[in-house]
Chain A
Amino acid sequence: MSADLATLLDGLTRMRGVRGALLVSAEDGITVAGALLEEEQGPALAALAATLLARVRELIAETGHEPPRFLHLQSAEGLLLLAPAAGDLVVVSVAGREALIGPLRLEMLRIAEQLD
């Protein structure tokens, strides 16, 4: 796991409500850097995030629009956020319902931009 890449996520993991943040390879669905509070979820979450992103990209491509740059899955107990970078990487974060989506979104987009 790259320490430099993990450092990128430091600010994100300190934000309110964030339970974990990962950098995931969109193609392979494997974790490149980062950590979750519940570490055993990491590999499965990385794979699921990559698959979810692939499906959404497929849908958006069918409709002829620009590729997605931010995804927000909301549920009663929390949220899953994805910010694809220009290359193969995706910034993924998991947060509780107390998280503030606005600042989280901006931070994830900033990290994704740094990865470009």
Chain B
Amino acid sequence: MTDEIRALSAQYAADPSSLVFLRLGEVLRARGQPDAALKVVLQGLSRYPHLPEAHDLHARILVDRRDFAGAFDEWDMVLRLVPHHVGAHKGIGFLYYRAGELDRALYHLRAAAELDPEDAGLHAAVERVAGGGEIWDTPMPEAPVDRAPLPTAADHGTDLPFADLAGGSDGLLLVDQHGLRLGGGVRTLEGRDVSEQAAAALAGIAREASRAARLLAMGEWSHLSVECADVSACILNPTVDSTLLAVIDAGTPGGQLAFAADRAAKSARAWLERQR
């Protein structure tokens, strides 16, 4: 347990009616402890059932636990309480996006971007979903009638693409050709889940790699390895319509990265075949 979690837990125990549960839940979530975070936020919600920030935190924890329907309900609740809540629009936008409901996704992501014009990542996400920057010249459409997005293949049960790998799905992300996450996930060093953003970028990389290989008459590309000062990554296509990202510490030998990526690709291929 880190010092910050210990201090926040002590503060919360001393005064269970305080709002410190929000901070404690955030920290637990960021440190990759969604179960503990869930317990804290549910306790908080029992005292503050109409607190939008608690529902927003609850939704993000549910996304971590891959309960997307539950997350949708929570963000829907936030928007009923605070119609201009940036986090809820953003969250619902990403849920629609991953379900392939692009018009609804675009509406909510754009609503969030207009509420938070400083968020460059959100701005880029809107343009990516809209297919270009011209979106900002068109009037904001009427709010759609929201309904929970249909579950994707990745939402069903525990049959996940990397479930049979000893190391689990840490640092592995599988996406379809449209940038929709199918399984696995990636986090920042601080523990923030950036899987949806990475998924969209990954599909774009696969397209550019294919274009480059075609131009150079190199045949089908087999993998793209990326070397950074602190991390190495390998990108490959387990099937013609999916792309896999494997991220590993920079100190790991290149051969080990390729081995891990190939093993994950094999697992993903088997899983994709089971889904068809």
Q: Please name all residues of chain A whose beta carbon is closer than 8 Å to the beta carbon of B101 when the two chains form the complex.
A: none
Nearest chain A CB to B274's CB is how many angstroms away? 28
> How far apart sit A76 and B219, CA to CA, in the bound complex (Å)?
6
Q: How many residues on chain A are close to B (CB under 8 Å)?
A: 32
> How far apart sit A56 and B234, CA to CA, in the bound complex (Å)?
11
Whether, in the assembled complex, A6 has its beta carbon less than 8 Å from a beta carbon of chain B, the answer is no
> How far apart sit A64 and B121, CA to CA, in the bound complex (Å)?
13
Instruction: Tell me the chain A residues, 18-75 only, with Cβ under 8 Å from chain B.
Output: 41, 44-45, 48-49, 51-52, 55-56, 58-60, 62-75
Contact status of A56 and B226, CB under 8 A, knowing A62-B201, A75-B221: yes
Contact status B201-A66, CB under 8 Å: no
Whether, in the assembled complex, B213 has its beta carbon less than 8 Å from a beta carbon of chain A, the answer is yes
Whether, in the assembled complex, A17 has its beta carbon less than 8 Å from a beta carbon of chain B, the answer is no
Main secondary structure of the interface of A (DSSP, over half): mixed
Residue in B216, B227, B247 whose beta carbon sits within 8 Å of that of A78 in the complex? B216
Q: Please name all residues of chain A whose beta carbon is closer than 8 Å to the beta carbon of B229 when the two chains form the complex.
A: 66, 69
Q: How many residues on chain B are close to A (CB under 8 Å)?
A: 40
Nearest chain B CB to A44's CB is how many angstroms away? 6
> How far apart sit A73 and B221, CA to CA, in the bound complex (Å)?
7
Name, among A48, A58, A65, A73, the residue most crowded by chain B CB atoms within 10 Å (CB to CB): A73
Contact status A66-B228, CB under 8 Å: yes
> How far apart sit A75 and B220, CA to CA, in the bound complex (Å)?
6
Contact status B216-A59, CB under 8 Å: no
Contact status of A70 and B227, CB under 8 A, knowing A64-B189, A80-B212, A94-B216: yes
> How far apart sit A51 and B210, CA to CA, in the bound complex (Å)?
12
Whether, in the assembled complex, A77 has its beta carbon less than 8 Å from a beta carbon of chain B, the answer is yes
Contact status A73-B228, CB under 8 Å: no
Q: Please name all residues of chain A whose beta carbon is closer than 8 Å to the beta carbon of B124 when the two chains form the complex.
A: 58
Contact status B189-A56, CB under 8 Å: no
Contact status B228-A60, CB under 8 Å: yes
Residue in B209, B218, B219, B230 whose beta carbon sits within 8 Å of that of A52 in the complex? B209
> How far apart sit A22 and B189, CA to CA, in the bound complex (Å)?
34
Name, among A41, A44, A74, the residue most crowded by chain B CB atoms within 10 Å (CB to CB): A74
The stretch from B7-15, B66-74, B154-162, B190-198 touching chain A is B190-198
Q: Write out, one digit per residue, whether chain B residues 111-143 have a CB within 8 A of any chain A CB (1) or not (0).
A: 000000000010010000000000000000000
Contact status B212-A63, CB under 8 Å: no
Contact status B215-A75, CB under 8 Å: no
> How far apart sit A67 and B231, CA to CA, in the bound complex (Å)?
9
Contact status B226-A68, CB under 8 Å: yes
Contact status B205-A62, CB under 8 Å: no
Q: Write out, one digit per residue, whether chain B residues 219-256 have a CB within 8 A of any chain A CB (1) or not (0).
A: 11111111111110100000000000101000000000
Residue in B187, B201, B208, B218 whose beta carbon sits within 8 Å of that of A75 in the complex? B218
Contact status B202-A75, CB under 8 Å: no
Q: Please name all residues of chain A whose beta carbon is closer than 8 Å to the beta carbon of B233 when the two chains form the complex.
A: 59-60
Given A44-B215, A55-B204, 16 other A-B residues pairs in contact with their CB atoms under 8 A: A56-B205, A58-B201, A59-B202, A63-B187, A63-B188, A65-B231, A66-B230, A68-B226, A69-B227, A69-B228, A69-B229, A71-B226, A71-B227, A74-B224, A76-B219, A94-B216
A-B contact pairs, 10 of them (CB 8 A): A63-B231, A65-B189, A65-B230, A71-B227, A74-B225, A76-B218, A76-B219, A78-B218, A79-B218, A80-B218
Q: List chain B positions with a Cβ less than 8 A from chain A.
A: 121, 124, 186-190, 192, 194, 197-198, 201-202, 204-205, 208-209, 211-213, 215-231, 233, 245, 247
